[in-house]
């Protein structure tokens, strides 16, 4: 056995990425993304509704979900892609308070690499 990926409920679908050792599993309408070579949960797609099916994009960066309410959505799921998108939109680092709100007890650090201005 390469890895055992545990869910609380039955798994209704499994889809593999063609670019990385990653799979997406549906369990009780929720989407979970796993690194199956390490047996590590990489991401859980929150707020996706009750997901009925899903598929990775060809490059593996996105997951397309189809939910029971008739909604189809395209999701970034990799941490580095989510961080890059947040920094593109936010244009600043998170404050320590914001960091705690979104990341809990993880140690605070700068989230975006912005150039520092050097006033003369």
Note the pLDDT tens digit of each residue in 7-56.
778 888 999 999 999 999 999 999 999 999 888 999 988 778 899 999 99
Give dist(CA 65, CA 71) in Å, integer: 8
Residue ranges making up the domain that contains 89: 78-120
Output the domain CATH number for residue 32: 2.40.10
103 lies in the same domain as 92: yes
Residue 1 falls inside a structural domain: no
Question: Could you give the number of structural domains in the chain?
Answer: 2
- Give the per-residue pLDDT at 3: 66
**87 and 70, same domain (yes or no):** no
Output the pTM of the full model: 0.75
Per-residue confidence (pLDDT) for residue 118, from 0 to 100: 41
DSSP code per residue over 33-95 = EEETTTTEEEEEETT--SEEEEEE-TTSSEEEEEETTS-EEEEE-SHHHHHHHHHHHH-SPPP
Q: What is the pLDDT of residue 2?
A: 64
Q: What is the pLDDT of residue 66?
A: 95
Q: Is 95 helix (H, G, I), strand (E, B) or coil?
A: coil
DSSP 46: T
- For residue 2, being part of any structural domain is answered with no
């Amino acid at each position: 056995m390469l890895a055992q990926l545990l869910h609380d409920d039955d798994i209704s679908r499994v889809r593999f990425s063609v670019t990385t050792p990653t799979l997406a599993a549906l369990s009780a309408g929720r989407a979970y993304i796993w690194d199956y070579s390490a047996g590590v949960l990489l991401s859980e797609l929150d707020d996706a509704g009750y997901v009925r099916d899903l598929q990775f994009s060809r490059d593996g960066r996105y997951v397309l979900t189809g939910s029971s309410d008739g909604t189809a959505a395209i999701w970034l799921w990799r941490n580095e892609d989510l961080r890059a998108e947040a920094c593109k939109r936010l244009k600043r680092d998170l404050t320590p308070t914001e960091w705690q709100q979104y990341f809990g007890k993880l140690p605070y650090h700068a989230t975006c690499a912005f150039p520092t201005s050097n006033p003369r």
